[in-house]
Structure 1
Amino acid sequence: MDGASIIERLMTTEGRFDPYPLYARAHELGAATPAGPAAVLVAGHAAANQVLRNPAFAVEDTRTLTADNADLLVHPSVVLLGHSVLQRNAPDHGRVRSLVASAFNARRVAALRPAIETTVARLLDELDDRGADGSPVDFMDAFAFRLPVEVICELLGVPAADRHRFRGLASDLTIALELVQDLGELAVADAAAAELEAYFAELVAERLARPTGDLVSDLARIAADSPDRISGEELLGNLVLLLVAGFETTTNLLGNGLTLLFRHPAAAEGLRTGGLDPSLFTDEVLRYDSPVQLTSRISTAPDLTVAGLPTPSGTVVLVMLGAANRDPARYTRPDRFDPTRTDSQPLSFGGGSHFCLGSQLARLEADIAVPALLDRFPRLAPAGIPVRRDRLVLRGYESLPVATR
């Protein structure tokens, strides 16, 4: 099996459900391996880190994405995400990122702890009520989605009455981030993009008329007064990105983590009693079953190499984050879940200039929520068959039924 075959298999339902045997095969081929014409698959931890931190490996922006397929420009999901920092390179990336980065600095994130603890306590009360009669409760819907969406919406300034509507819309929009083989698959993402863009356009207009001191109010005023710092299109694209990225990764982190705790009761007991550091547990979940499995870059210089493999200009570099996190050259027994590891450096949040702005917030939410969940429900147990989302890039559960008693 060569690199191209591995990618082909990863794009099947079976490959997406359990990509790790395919990652193991990729490691046998080397830290980096060809994956078809003008494409390279990167599975090694050091090689992936190199690519993520080297600005000569650019993200695929709207220009490069549509160079060979102008039809992509008719898809609102592609256009909307193309205005976000996720798909922008220097200098536009730094210009816009700097406007929102202060909302996610260490001091401001740490200051959110009391609010997160309060939200966790309230959601656990509601989870308790829903499972009081012994019936199964969907952990993803009742807790894993609601915690991070309430936190990010509070930060942005999205009204509480609107927050319930975002899970489905975000799930639909993120289809545009997958390795789509048929552009017809983007129809659902396009509809979600149109609805989310319209929602934030209305919210921006409202905040311009009546500012409330939240992030939407601040960014809306900057866009109105200084469009050279952030345009109207960039404003909407990045507000949608902040919303979606603000809970998608954390939702999957919580669901993947709880599933691992069901398989490893000693870890659950350690978190419950304080014998296990929650931050080590979070790191190991990120490493072992990353909520983000893949990202891509494109080579912009003729003499670039990855792990000794030439990647001339125009080469698409598929960075397999999930594989890099299980690189046997980096980790002892990489396929073993071990939340006592002290040397984890998961690449789940990326690296370099595109390192995830909300990484500290996601970690804090998990560090607070998981021990509190286990303490509140010492008999928490699976109550049915969990359903995986049929995705490669964003790995998580659609549903995870649990019993609280």
Structure 2
Amino acid sequence: MDGAAIVERMMTTEGRTDPYPLYARARGLGPVVPAGEGAYLVTGYAAVNKVLRTPAFGMVTGDMMVGFDAQYAQHESLVLFGRSILQRNAPDQPRVRSLIASVFTARRVAELRPAVEAAVGRLLDEMAEQGADGSPVDFMDAFAFRLPVGVVCELLGVPERDRYRFRGLASDLTVALEMFQSLDDLGEADKAAVELSRYFLELTGERAADPRDDLVTDLARIAAADDDRLSVEELLANLVLLLVAGFETTTNLLGNGLALLFRHPEVADGLRSGALTPAGFTDEVLRFDSPVQATARIALAEDLAVEGLPVPLGSMLTLLIGSANHDPARYERPEVFDPARTDSQPLSFGGGTHYCLGSQLARMEAEIAVPALLDRFPRLAPGGVALRRDRLILRGYETLPVTVR
């Protein structure tokens, strides 16, 4: 099976459900694998890490996508992400990222810890009440979604009354991030992009009239003061990105982590006893079953090479983060789930100029939530058949039923 055939298999439901055997086959072909004309799979840890940290391997921007196919401009979801820092290169990406980083500070994240702890306690109380009669509780809906969406909305300044409307919209919108999808599948994603953009346009207007201590107020103030520093279109696109990225990754981190605890009860025992640390557990979940499985780059310069393989200008690279995190050249016994690892540096939050701004917030939420969950429910157990989302890039569960009594 060559690189192109592996990509084809990854696009199937079976391949998306369990891509790890395909990753192993791809790594067997090398750290960088041709996958069709002008296309490469990057499979090894060192190779993925290098590409992530090399500016000459840039994001595929919205303008580039329109150049490939003019129909891209007709899809609001693709246009929205194309305006965000997720899919921009220098000079626009560092300009806007620095503005967001100036208000999305480590101090602001640290100050959220009491709110995270309070939200965890409240959600666990609700789970206990919901499952008091022994009936199953969907962990994804009752906790894994509600915790991070509440936290990121607190940070942004989204009113509490609006917060729980976003799961379906985010699920629809993020279809646009899936690689290899047909443009015909973006109808719901486009509707979600329009609705979320309209929502934040209204909210920034409210904050202009009634400023608060939140990110929407701060970023809207910057845009109003100087359109050259941050345009209205960039403001709205990046607020939508902050919202969706702020809970999508953490939701999947929590769900994937709990599923692994059910498969490895000895790890739950180790966390309860203190033999294993929440930070070590979080790192190993990120490595073993990453919430983000792949990303893409394009060669923006001549004479580039990765692991000795020349990569011509304009080549498209699919970086298999999930494969890199399982690379035996980087990790001893990579197929073993081992939260006691001391050398874990998963690539799940990216690297270089596109390293995830919310990584520390996601880690903090997981490191608070998992020990509290295990402490509150000593007999926590699967409550039915878990259902994975049929996605490759954003890997997680749609439902994960548990019993808490």
Task: Note whether the superposition's TM-score is higher than 0.5.
Answer: yes
SS of the residue 2:186 aligns to: helix
- The residue number in structure 2 matching 1:225 is 225
Distance 1:252 1:355 in 2: 18
- The residue number in structure 1 matching 2:382 is 382
- In the TM superposition, residue 107 of structure 1 has moved relative to its aligned partner by 3.0
Matched, 1:136 2:136: yes
SS of the residue 2:318 aligns to: strand
Distance 2:394 2:286 in 1: 12
Distance 1:78 1:124 in 2: 37
Matched, 1:64 2:67: no
- The residue number in structure 1 matching 2:349 is 349
Distance 1:283 1:15 in 2: 24
- In the TM superposition, residue 179 of structure 1 has moved relative to its aligned partner by 1.5
Contact 1:75 / 1:190 at 8 angstroms: preserved in 2? yes
- The residue number in structure 2 matching 1:338 is 338
- In the TM superposition, residue 309 of structure 1 has moved relative to its aligned partner by 1.2
SS of the residue 1:133 aligns to: coil
For residue 50 of structure 2, what is the amino acid of its counterpart? Q
Distance 2:124 2:103 in 1: 27
Contact 2:300 / 2:314 at 8 angstroms: preserved in 1? yes
Distance verdict in 2 for CA 1:106–1:218, change over 3 Å: closer
- 1:208-287 mapped onto 2 (5 Å cutoff): 208-287=208-287
- The residue number in structure 2 matching 1:402 is 402
- In the TM superposition, residue 273 of structure 1 has moved relative to its aligned partner by 2.2
CA RMSD of aligned residues (A): 0.8
Contact 1:33 / 1:309 at 8 angstroms: preserved in 2? no
Distance 2:307 2:5 in 1: 20
Distance 2:280 2:102 in 1: 26
- The residue number in structure 1 matching 2:123 is 123
Listed as ranges, the gaps of 5+ residues in structure 1 are none
SS of the residue 1:213 aligns to: coil
Distance 1:340 1:106 in 2: 27
Distance 2:147 2:133 in 1: 23
- The residue number in structure 2 matching 1:92 is 92
SS of the residue 1:285 aligns to: helix
- In the TM superposition, residue 271 of structure 1 has moved relative to its aligned partner by 1.2
C-alpha distance after superposition, 1:8-29 (max 9, x if no partner): 1101000000000000001100
- In the TM superposition, residue 103 of structure 1 has moved relative to its aligned partner by 3.8
TM-score for the superposition, normalised by structure 1: 0.99
- 1:264-343 mapped onto 2 (5 Å cutoff): 264-343=264-343
Distance 2:103 2:381 in 1: 37
- In the TM superposition, residue 128 of structure 1 has moved relative to its aligned partner by 0.7
- In the TM superposition, residue 59 of structure 1 has moved relative to its aligned partner by 0.4
How many residue pairs match? The answer is 405
For residue 249 of structure 1, what is the amino acid of its counterpart? T
- In the TM superposition, residue 63 of structure 1 has moved relative to its aligned partner by 1.4
Distance 1:397 1:363 in 2: 19
- In the TM superposition, residue 105 of structure 1 has moved relative to its aligned partner by 3.3
Distance 2:152 2:99 in 1: 16
- In the TM superposition, residue 295 of structure 1 has moved relative to its aligned partner by 0.2
For residue 126 of structure 1, what is the amino acid of its counterpart? E
Matched, 1:22 2:22: yes
Percent identical: 69
The farther-off stretch of 210-219 and 243-252 is 210-219
Contact 2:104 / 2:215 at 8 angstroms: preserved in 1? no
For residue 286 of structure 1, what is the amino acid of its counterpart? L
C-alpha distance after superposition, 1:287-332 (max 9, x if no partner): 0000000000000111001111111110001000000000010011
Distance 1:103 1:287 in 2: 29
Distance 1:337 1:103 in 2: 36
- In the TM superposition, residue 67 of structure 1 has moved relative to its aligned partner by 1.2
Distance 2:65 2:307 in 1: 25
Distance 1:248 1:362 in 2: 10
For residue 46 of structure 1, what is the amino acid of its counterpart? A
SS of the residue 1:402 aligns to: strand
Listed as ranges, the gaps of 5+ residues in structure 2 are none
- The residue number in structure 1 matching 2:197 is 197
C-alpha distance after superposition, 1:337-371 (max 9, x if no partner): 01100101100000000000000000000000000
Contact 1:53 / 1:353 at 8 angstroms: preserved in 2? yes
- The residue number in structure 2 matching 1:107 is 107
SS of the residue 1:297 aligns to: strand
TM-score for the superposition, normalised by structure 2: 0.99
- In the TM superposition, residue 99 of structure 1 has moved relative to its aligned partner by 1.1
- In the TM superposition, residue 112 of structure 1 has moved relative to its aligned partner by 1.7
Distance 2:294 2:182 in 1: 19
